[in-house]
């Protein structure tokens, strides 16, 4: 069975949590595509050329313990705006999505560029203030600075010329601003379940 769930959205909206829950519930493989860009970003911080880092990316690079660091996230957003970097990582993502048994991919251009034919497309979002507060709770530091970084990343991700962050026209939007984790996951699970059972998207 090939069944692809594409989950997009800005940083700290909850898409990763939802993607992991969907994958676990339905027995699908999961790829956090942001880790690909974080791994490239981490190598760039070490002095490597972004395109060379993307082309040489190995599975072991996704297991680095520093990929969740704030400076790596910012570097990832910068390298993701480079068309040659994105091109180098497209094949990896599409091959993962096409695997037998089904797959869940979460990122920023899965439903619009990587898997435009995905059976399910979700766009998970929330207000910048809520997302910054969630990130601050995870990482600490100065909350005002975290909010500034979230807004800066939103502008960069949405404004880039190549594969900008946006919801696919046929994506279901899940706004988690006022939802608990359990509520957001329940909405996503219900939608995926409907699609697996052949019911039309609502």
Give the whole-angstrom CA distance, residue 37 versus residue 91.
14
Q: What are the strands, taking DSSP E only, across the chain? A: 4-8, 29-32, 103-107, 120-125, 172-175
**What CA–CA distance (Å, rounded) separates 76 from 44?**
9
Token pair of 48 as six digits: 């490597």
27 annotated as belonging to a binding site for a ligand: no
9 is in an annotated binding site: yes
140 appears as a binding residue in the annotation: no
Q: At what angle do helices 70-79 and 143-159 cross, to 10 degrees?
A: 10
Report whether 15 belongs to an annotated binding site: yes
| 16 belongs to an annotated ligand binding site | yes
Cα first-last separation, the chain: 23
Residue 10 assigned ligand-binding role: yes
Distance (Å) of CA 9 to CA 80, 125, 130, 142 = 15, 6, 14, 24
Is position 14 annotated in a ligand binding site?
yes
Annotated binding site for ATP: 9-17
Binding site as annotated, residues: 9-17
């Amino acid at each position: 069975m090939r069944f692809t769930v594409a989950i997009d959205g800005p940083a700290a909206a909850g898409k990763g949590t939802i993607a992991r829950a969907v994958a676990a519930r339905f027995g699908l493989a999961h790829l956090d595509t942001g880790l690909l860009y974080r791994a490239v970003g981490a190598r760039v911080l070490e002095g490597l050329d972004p395109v060379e880092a993307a082309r040489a990316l190995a599975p072991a690079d996704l297991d680095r313990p520093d990929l969740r660091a704030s400076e790596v996230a910012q570097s990832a957003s910068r390298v993701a705006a480079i068309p040659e970097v994105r091109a180098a990582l497209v094949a990896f993502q599409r091959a993962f999505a096409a695997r037998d048994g089904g797959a869940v991919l979460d990122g920023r251009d899965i439903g619009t560029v990587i898997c435009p034919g995905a059976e399910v497309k979700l766009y998970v979002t929330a207000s910048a203030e809520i997302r910054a507060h969630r990130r601050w709770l995870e990482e600490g530091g100065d909350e005002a600075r975290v909010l500034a970084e979230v807004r800066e990343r939103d502008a960069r991700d949405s404004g880039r010329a190549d594969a900008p962050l946006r919801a696919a026209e046929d994506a279901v939007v899940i706004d988690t601003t006022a939802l608990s984790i359990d509520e957001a996951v329940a909405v996503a699970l219900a939608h995926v379940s409907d699609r697996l059972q052949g019911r039309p998207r609502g």
